[in-house]
């Protein structure tokens, strides 16, 4: 550890607090024989706790210079497979082929500078993790779990809610990391929910939500000019709303209702 110079450009803040590491593994409640995907394994602190469980771990790490240390640390484990590459560039379908029949979890202390692209990649790929336990920057955690009408609520909140039930688990102080980051962190749990919404056209739903939030401060009318405004207004009326509403006030159910009527 002493020889390692953490690289800021890769968002390297290694988790060094054993209590927190144990707590993460405990609340993950990983089923035996499942596959755990860890993005950004770093020096392997979390990895070390996870592979003690009877699971297979597929790790990703962009920083090749960590390989030597990790190989040494984990030479006794046959249930660990590390891919030294940029997670965002991977073809997940290919990577996950060998594990097709396993229940999948994503458990990671994420590189914060790419939190949204990582989560977006996961929800847009179809590997369907059963559960995710992610360490994120506190403000981002608030956003992921936000309720309509709050400042933190955005299109990502709506997309995630479509697939997962999101719960904030616990705060982690800056002191749990080396080097200390500038922000506090939050462990957020995402649990797969059986599809509980009826969306007629998923593509349209996702596009509409994205468009509705393009300029958050503007009214819905401003952001969705290319849609049939009369139909949108018709649906909004049911909720005593009109086109001057802002996207951040609309619940996922209302977004679905609007797009189902388009
Ligand atoms: N899980 C470790 C490290 C967390 S720091 C721990 O808790 O101690 C985030 C890690 O993500 C760093 O090791 C960094 O090198 C890695 N990383 C950053 N960008 C990445 C990317 N695009 N793909 C894979 N790993 C990445």
pLDDT of residue 159: 92
Pocket lining: 112 vs ligand 1, CB cutoff 6 Å: no
List the one residue out of 83, 84, 98 whose CA is nearest residue 35. 98
State the span(s) of the chain assigned CATH 1.10.8.100. Answer: 202-260
CA 175/CA 178 separation, integer angstroms: 8
CATH no. for 202-260: 1.10.8.100
Cα 253–Cα 259–Cα 262 angle in degrees, nearest 5: 145
In tens digits, the chain (262 residues) has pLDDT values of 546 789 999 999 999 999 999 999 999 999 999 999 999 999 999 999 999 999 999 999 999 999 999 999 999 899 999 999 999 999 999 999 999 999 999 999 999 999 999 999 998 888 889 999 999 999 999 999 999 998 889 999 999 999 999 999 999 999 999 999 999 999 999 999 887 899 999 999 999 999 999 998 899 999 999 999 999 999 999 999 999 999 999 999 999 999 999 9
Q: In whole angstroms, how large is the CA radius of gyration of the chain?
A: 20
Pocket lining: 40 vs ligand 1, CB cutoff 6 Å: yes
Q: DSSP letters of 105-127?
A: EEEEE--GGGHHHHHHHHHHSS-
Pocket lining: 205 vs ligand 1, CB cutoff 6 Å: no
Contact 108, 131 (CB under 8 A): no
Pocket lining: 176 vs ligand 1, CB cutoff 6 Å: no
Q: Which CATH number fits domain 8-192: 3.30.70.100, 3.40.50.720, 3.30.420.10, 3.40.50.150?
A: 3.40.50.150
Contact 137, 151 (CB under 8 A): no
Q: How many CA atoms lie within 13 A of 123 on its CB side?
A: 19
Ligand 1 atom 8: residue of nearest CA: 14
Q: What is the pTM of this model?
A: 0.92
State the span(s) of the chain assigned CATH 3.40.50.150. Answer: 8-192
CA of 14, closest atom in ligand 1: 8
Omega before 134 within 30 of 0, i.e. cis: no
pLDDT of residue 87: 98
Pocket lining: 109 vs ligand 1, CB cutoff 6 Å: yes
Pocket lining: 185 vs ligand 1, CB cutoff 6 Å: no
Q: How many helices (H) and strands (E) does the chain have?
A: 11, 9
Contact 255, 208 (CB under 8 A): yes
Choose the residue to mutate in 111, 122, 135, 185 for probing ligand 1, maximizing ligand atoms within 8 Å of C-beta. 111
Ligand 1 atom 13: residue of nearest CA: 42
pLDDT of residue 3: 63
pLDDT of residue 228: 97
Instruction: Kindly give the distance from the C-alpha atom of residue 255 to the centroid of ligand 1, in angstroms, as a whole number.
Output: 35
Pocket lining: 62 vs ligand 1, CB cutoff 6 Å: yes
Phi/psi of residue 38, nearest 5 degrees: -115, 120
Choose the residue to mutate in 42, 66, 86, 110 for probing ligand 1, maximizing ligand atoms within 8 Å of C-beta. 42
pLDDT of residue 217: 86
pLDDT of residue 126: 81
Choose the residue to mutate in 36, 38, 40 for probing ligand 1, maximizing ligand atoms within 8 Å of C-beta. 40
């Amino acid at each position: 550890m002493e020889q390692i110079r953490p690289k800021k450009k890769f968002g390297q803040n290694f988790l060094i607090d054993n209590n927190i590491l144990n707590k993460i593994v405990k609340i993950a409640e990983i089923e035996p024989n499942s596959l755990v995907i860890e993005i950004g394994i770093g020096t392997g602190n979390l990895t070390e706790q996870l592979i003690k469980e009877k699971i297979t771990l597929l790790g990703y790490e962009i920083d090749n210079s960590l390989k030597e240390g990790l190989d040494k640390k984990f030479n006794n484990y046959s249930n660990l497979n590390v891919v030294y590459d940029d997670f965002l560039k991977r073809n997940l379908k290919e990577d996950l082929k060998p594990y097709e029949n396993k229940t999948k979890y994503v458990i990671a202390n994420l590189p914060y500078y790419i939190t949204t692209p990582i989560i977006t990649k996961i929800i847009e790929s179809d590997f369907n993790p059963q559960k995710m336990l992610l360490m994120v920057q506190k403000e981002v955690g608030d956003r992921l779990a936000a309720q309509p009408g709050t400042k933190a609520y955005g299109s990502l909140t709506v997309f995630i809610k479509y697939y997962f039930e999101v719960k904030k688990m616990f705060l982690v102080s800056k002191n749990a990391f080396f080097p200390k980051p500038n922000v506090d962190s939050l462990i957020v749990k995402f649990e797969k929910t059986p599809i509980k919404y009826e969306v007629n056209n998923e593509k349209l739903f996702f596009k509409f939500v994205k468009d509705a939030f393009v300029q958050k401060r503007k009214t819905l009318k401003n952001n969705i000019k290319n849609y049939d405004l009369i139909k949108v207004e018709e649906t909004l009326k049911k909720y005593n709303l009109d086109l001057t509403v802002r996207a951040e006030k609309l619940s996922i159910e209302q977004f679905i209702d609007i797009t189902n009527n388009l």
